[in-house]
């Protein structure tokens, strides 16, 4: 199943069952879209439906065929953890298959954004066989598993959260790329490798610029960096590349913008973007 947001008519069976059980008018408020990650469903629910949320979740679970239903929360904190309310079931660990890659994760605690699907698919295509990729914010391997599995790249994946790291290690095995992908459970600022990477993934937001000096230390004299950050709309399109180039120059590197893409809206007036940058040591 795809984790993409599905905007669709409520399945007739859900409507049929719940129209017999809910008070007049409430059937119209039932969620028409949801996100499915493996066999876990994330359901947005209007406050008017609060008293019936358990039963509603049960019916969605049974008709759609999932084991657990969560109510949408917010992603926050250094480890980008989500807060969810369990509406039905309880087991939130699942295996989500996307682009022939198996991602095992705990949906209640680890971010897996349907809106990032294009970027995960794009990363499978940009990596080249044999090149060394360092993923500085690996998560469960969201962006670097596609590079190892489909691109044939060698990957060093660094993840700070011990909980997320367990899934990263399992995913490397599940996708049978142990021969070319190695995981480190540490803060990327403590990673000792220097001048080793052909390509670097910086899949983080808000404070990613603080990690540019470390990325340059890990990069070879010439490398490509996929630099993500969040940017207020009024500073686009100059940012975030301007800041990247300024910091790169301060560290003896020239930077060239190869490509820039919007990933998604992050907050009102703020966008999550990715810039592909080629860096050269001066
Ligand atoms: C938002 S997730 C992104 C996953 C993936 N890169 C993507 O873009 O889909 C960022 C991950 O970076 C990890 N992280 C945050 N700070 C870190 C650091 N200093 N060193 C290593 N990992 C870090 C978090 O625990 C989290 O799992």
Please check the confidence at residue 282 and state whether its pLDDT lies above 70.
yes
Q: Which residue has the tokens 């980008």?
A: 80
Query: pLDDT tens digits, residue range 33-89?
Result: 899 999 999 999 999 999 999 999 999 999 999 999 999 866 666 766 667 899 999
Q: Cα separations (Å) of 274 from 59, 64, 191, 247, 262? A: 39, 34, 23, 17, 6
**% of the chain surpassing 70 pLDDT:** 93
114: pLDDT confidence band, cut at 50, 70 and 90?
confident
Count other C-beta atoms under 10 Å from residue 114's C-beta: 16
Calculate the CA 117 to chain-centre distance: 8
* Residue 151, both tokens: 């691109």
Please check the confidence at residue 156 and state whether its pLDDT lies above 50.
yes
Ligand 1 atom closest to the CA of 205, numbered from 1: 1
Task: Map out the domains of the chain with their CATH numbers.
Answer: 6-91 (3.30.300.110), 112-281 (3.40.50.150)
Contact 186, 138 (CB under 8 A): no
**Distance, CA 269 to ligand 1 centroid (Å)?**
23
Contact 140, 105 (CB under 8 A): yes
Q: Which residue has the tokens 């984790």?
A: 3
115: pLDDT confidence band, cut at 50, 70 and 90?
confident
Spell out which residues line ligand 1, taking CB within 6 angstroms: 78-80, 111, 116, 137, 139, 142-143, 158-161, 164, 187-189, 203-204
Average pLDDT across the chain, whole number: 94
1: pLDDT confidence band, cut at 50, 70 and 90?
very low
Measure the CA–CA gap between 257 and 224, rounded to whole angstroms.
Answer: 10
9: pLDDT confidence band, cut at 50, 70 and 90?
low
Count other C-beta atoms under 10 Å from residue 22's C-beta: 18
Query: pLDDT tens digits, residue range 203-228?
Result: 999 999 999 999 999 999 999 999 99
Nearest residue CA, atom 8 of ligand 1? 203
Instruction: Write the DSSP assignment of 43-69 as a string of letters.
Output: E---GGGGGGHHHHHHHHHHHHT-SEE
Measure the CA–CA gap between 115 and 138, rounded to whole angstroms.
Answer: 17
Nearest residue CA, atom 4 of ligand 1? 139
Measure the CA–CA gap between 135 and 119, rounded to whole angstroms.
Answer: 14
Looking at 99-172, which runs of residues are DSSP E strands?
101-106, 132-135, 154-158
**Distance, CA 61 to ligand 1 centroid (Å)?**
30
**Element (DSSP H or E) covering residue 70:** strand 68-71
Nearest residue CA, atom 7 of ligand 1? 203
Residues with Cβ < 8 Å from 235, sequence gap 6 or more? Answer: none
């Amino acid at each position: 199943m795809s984790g993409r947001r599905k905007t669709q008519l409520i399945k007739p069976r859900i409507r049929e069952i719940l129209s017999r059980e809910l008070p007049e008018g409430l059937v119209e408020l039932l969620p028409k879209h949801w996100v499915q990650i493996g066999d876990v469903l994330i359901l947005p629910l209007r406050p008017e439906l609060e008293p019936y949320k358990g039963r509603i979740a049960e019916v969605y679970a049974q008709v759609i065929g999932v084991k657990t239903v969560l109510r949408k929360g917010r992603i926050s904190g250094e480890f980008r953890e989500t807060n969810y309310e369990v509406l039905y079931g309880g087991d939130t660990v699942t295996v989500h298959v996307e682009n022939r890659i198996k991602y095992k994760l705990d949906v209640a605690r680890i971010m897996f954004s349907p809106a990032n699907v294009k970027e995960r698919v794009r990363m499978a295509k940009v990596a080249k066989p044999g090149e060394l990729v360092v993923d500085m914010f690996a998560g469960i391997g969201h962006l670097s598993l596609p590079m190892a599995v489909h691109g044939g790249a060698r990957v060093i994946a660094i993840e700070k959260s011990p909980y997320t790291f367990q899934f990263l290690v399992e995913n490397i095995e599940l996708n049978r790329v142990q021969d070319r992908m190695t995981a480190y459970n540490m803060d990327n600022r403590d990673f000792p490798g220097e001048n080793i990477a052909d390509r670097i993934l910086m899949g983080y937001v808000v404070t990613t610029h603080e990690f540019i000096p470390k990325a340059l230390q890990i990069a070879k004299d010439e490398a490509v960096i996929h630099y993500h950050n969040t940017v207020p709309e009024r500073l686009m399109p100059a940012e975030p590349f301007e800041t990247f180039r300024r910091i790169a120059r301060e560290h003896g590197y020239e930077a060239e913008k190869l490509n820039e893409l919007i990933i998604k809206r992050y907050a009102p007036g703020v966008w999550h973007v990715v810039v592909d940058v080629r860096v050269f040591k001066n």
